[in-house]
Amino acid sequence: MTLETSTRWRSNSLGLRADRDYGAKPAGVVRILAFGDSFTVNTGVEARDTWPGVLERRLSETAGAAPGFEVVNGGHAGYGTSNMASWYRKYGLQLKPDMVLVALTPNDITDNGNEPPGHITAVDGYMASVGSTSLDRRRFEFRQRWYSLPGRLERSRVWALIANASFSKSEGPKLAACHEQLDAGEVRLHRLTEQYLLQMRDLATSQGASFGILLITFQEQLGDMAPGYSGATFGERWTRFAREHDIAVADTYPILRKHSGQPPLFWRWDGHYTEEGSRVAGEVAFDLVSRMLAETHD
């Protein structure tokens, strides 16, 4: 729940946002595993309105009487590509996808600043920030209890209003991937991201699956940015990388840039995609997958 939206959440035994577990793939079905962070799992919209949900619906429309398509939403809030690669090795391979898509966002690059498992990890059954302490754990558990006044405040819309009102949309580290000239530290993070993407591509190839990258655009990229930043730079840089390694790629930036703004693409306070933003990203993903399928059949 955020200040602007409230959605239902259901997860399966793999921790994925889904109403069911994914067992053996039905005969004739094309299974697509979509990796990403909070822009992919997208708690601000219903599951069917996330970009993987839109992609599955669009593909199903084209399948007609054929068995169809199954898009698995492998998004996890806060994941960088290091986390995605680890999850793919540990859990994703058993799903035996026919296609793997990685939705790459600008802050996925800086999220790789911590060596594996990245900036979040599993601690005694909880997802926790790397470096969190036992005191953090006790504070978290106390605030989940019904009688905890601080916890009740944090779960309220009042707290959401306070937190969102204080949120800064400055470029900062999360948009370092939009720097036109990378410094030494940013170059290192980009190289790490390249390594993880290539690891995932190789895992997909080992199972006979095709691999593609969907470049996700942040709201801040569409407005006026500080000197030395460019909204187009992120997509241009990773499109070059993908083509150099013969990876299918699609960038949401040109389409979102042309959008009229009504209905809005992003939640005002939360900053993630609205239903419309997810729909546009899903359409870009649909075009990407259609190209990949055409190349597979050639």
Within a 10 A sphere around the Cβ of 186, how many other Cβ atoms?
Answer: 17
- The residues with which 70 forms a beta bridge, in sequence order, are 31
pLDDT at 213 over 70: yes
Burial of 145 (0-12, 13-18, 19+ CB in 10 A): exposed
Beta carbons of 171 and 220 less than 8 angstroms apart: yes
Burial of 289 (0-12, 13-18, 19+ CB in 10 A): buried
pTM for this entry = 0.85
* Of residues 157 and 59, more confidently modeled: 59
Going by pLDDT thresholds of 50, 70 and 90, the confidence category of residue 270 is confident
Q: Across residues 265-276, what is the average pLDDT? A: 90
Q: Across residues 137-159, what is the average pLDDT? A: 75
101: enclosing H helix or E strand: strand 99-104
Stretch among 21-35, 92-106, 171-185, 191-205 having the lowest mean pLDDT: 171-185
Question: In sequence order, which residues have a C-beta less than 8 Å from that of residue 199 and are 6 or more positions away?
Answer: 85
The pLDDT score that the predictor gives to residue 171 is: 46
Q: What's the rounded Cα separation, in Å, for the pair 231 and 223?
A: 8
Q: What's the rounded Cα separation, in Å, for the pair 117 and 128?
A: 11
Taking each helix axis as running N to C, give the angle between helix 233-244 and helix 184-206, from 0 to 180 degrees, rounded to the nearest 10. 50
Stretch among 50-64, 73-87, 155-169 having the lowest mean pLDDT: 155-169
Domain ranges (residues) in the chain: 30-128+170-297
pLDDT at 65 over 60: no
Statement: 30-128+170-297 belongs to CATH 3.40.50.1110: yes
Amino acid at 241: F
